[in-house]
Structure 1
Amino acid sequence: MQTFWAREPYALNVQVQDFQSAVIEPTRPITAGFVAVVSISLSSMAAPVFPPLMLGDDSGNAFDNESAALSAGVDAANRMLDDLLA
């Protein structure tokens, strides 16, 4: 699942990816789900303005479904751009 949109002079991209934690800790079980990968670039350039950002839920775990990951990624991208443009 992926979405693109423009807020001049930037292009925003949110992609949802499957995720499974490779870190095994005694107090935390292996988690699987979905993460949102947010990328912001200038509309005139393909290279990202910032390194891509991988997002999980508020507790740092993967999202349970693709829709939740996509929604959180879109919200985060818009907030990042609001802060950048302020």
Structure 2
Amino acid sequence: MMAIRELKVCLLGDTGVGKSSIVCRFVQDHFDHNISPTIGASFMTKTVPCGNELHKFLIWDTAGQERGSAFEGCQGVCGVHWSCRG
């Protein structure tokens, strides 16, 4: 049986930059052009094989109003920025 390593990852970025779309694409292998804005925070998981381990990503998608408690225990952070925004 393979070992499972859990990794908490949080997404950072302003409201409306596409954090939820990125998570949906990674977890569900589907890009939704009409995804609803996140209220509060959402949580999704994806397990990926890596060598002799399974890496289970615990992905926290915040609403762009990040505060310290959302990042407790994070092993990774992904910053999202929309450079074409006016």
TM-score surpassing 0.5? no
TM-score, with length taken from structure 1 = 0.29
TM-score, with length taken from structure 2 = 0.29
Query: Which structure ranks higher in relative contact order (CA pairs < 8 Å, sequence separation ≥ 6)?
Result: 2
